[in-house]
Amino acid sequence: MQKITPYFIAFIIVVCCRSTAVGQYYFYNDDYYETSLTWQAGVSAGGMNCLTDLGGKRGTQRKFINDINWNSTRPCGGLYAGANYKDLVGARLELAFGQVKASDDILKDGKTEDYGRYRRNLNFRSEIREVSLSVELYPYSICKSYNRAQPRINPYILVGIGYFGFRPETFYNNTWVNVSSLHLEGQGFDEYPDRKTYRLSQFNMTAGIGFKFDASPVLNFHFEITYRKLWTDYLDDVSRDYIDPDLFKQYFSSPQAKLAARLADRRLTNITGTGNDPREIRGNENNNDTYFSATIKIAIIMGRQKR
């Protein structure tokens, strides 16, 4: 997949704007007024997608968002709890879960440029479990004049750190097979000392943008797009080149070695019908994988005082 640096120009706006204190004001009616600190707890639902070595859009492989195949989007959801200080800054702890998937066969009947990726004939899916701690910054509230009330629709930017678990599987013979344990690119083999066995639980960095809508004094909605920067290229179990299939016999039992060899190289016969070139690469190790989500969140607000 293609790299993207997860920094936002909006941070410059936040740094350049001066912070101002926000006094108490009546909140939509005479029954509630704003307090400095509010608490919220809520749920989220939406879609999750990924950019890895597999799949993508038809045609010449593009950079980042231009290579996303939206048909691969899968459902996701979550639970979260957090605090907000005067709509200037917020913090939250969130548990998210979902699934990502991609497949080279989605490029079938594509353009000539697709043929190499289509012929590779690989696919994967992985369940995602993530816990993250994030900070929300509200540029409009930070920059607005003192005597203006908070808007009911308020944009924000999001940064944080997460810890996620994944488990890549591939579809083979009408069943899903766990491939991380098969070391399909020689990870952990003595013959490839530079290919370490990857961990199925790792840290990531989260960054995103969103809008908060206060529907009432005790209820709000968020729409949010969140990107995760990963430090692994094995979300899809594909990163480097093919290895000698005979090596699997040295590390696995005969049935497992045969399965690993079959799953490691699933290339279709090439266009000339002369077989597969063992020098071909399997993936691109220079770019790590990533996943992202678009979610709608609904939360109950606690701490707004009632007259």
pLDDT (tens digit, 9 = 90+) per residue, 40-55? Answer: 999 999 999 999 999 8
Specify the amino acid at residue 133.
L
pLDDT at 17: 44
The pLDDT tens digits for 228-278 are 999 999 999 999 999 999 999 999 999 999 999 999 999 986 554 445 666
Contact 209, 225 (CB under 8 A): yes
Domain 43-306 has CATH 1.10.3470.10: no
Strand (E) or helix (H) holding 115: helix 115-120
> What's the CA gap between 179 and 189, in Å, rounded?
15
The residue among 178 and 60 whose pLDDT is bigger is 178
- 3-class DSSP state for residue 13? helix
Give the residue, 64 or 80, on which the prediction is more confident.
Answer: 80
What are the two backbone dihedrals, phi and then psi, of residue 133, each rounded to the nearest 5 degrees? Answer: -120, 120
Question: What pLDDT was estimated at residue 6?
Answer: 45
What is the C-alpha end-to-end distance of the chain, expressed in Å?
55
Sorted by sequence, the CB contacts under 8 Å of residue 300 that are 6+ apart come out as 40, 41, 42, 218, 219
pLDDT at 146 over 60: no
Residues 222-231 have a mean pLDDT of 97
Domain boundaries, the chain: 43-306
Of residues 216 and 65, more confidently modeled: 216
Q: pLDDT per residue over 68-106, tens digit each? A: 888 899 999 999 999 999 889 999 999 999 999 999 888
Q: At 61, is the pLDDT very low, low, confident or very high (cuts 50, 70, 90)? A: low
The pLDDT of residue 20 is 37
Amino acid at residue number 251: Y
- Percentage with pLDDT > 70 across the chain: 78
Looking at per-residue confidence, does 140 or 78 come out higher? 78
Averaged over 53-58, what is the pLDDT?
Answer: 76
Q: How far apart are CA 27 and CA 159, in angstroms?
A: 28
Confidence of residue 26 (pLDDT cuts 50, 70, 90): very low
Range of lowest pLDDT (147-161, 213-227, 232-246, 292-306): 147-161
Q: What is the pTM of this model?
A: 0.83
Distance of alpha carbon 90 from the chain centroid: 22
Name the least confident of 112-116, 135-139, 162-166, 212-216: 112-116
More confident site: 70 or 27: 70
List the structure tokens of 305.
């005082």
pLDDT at 107: 77
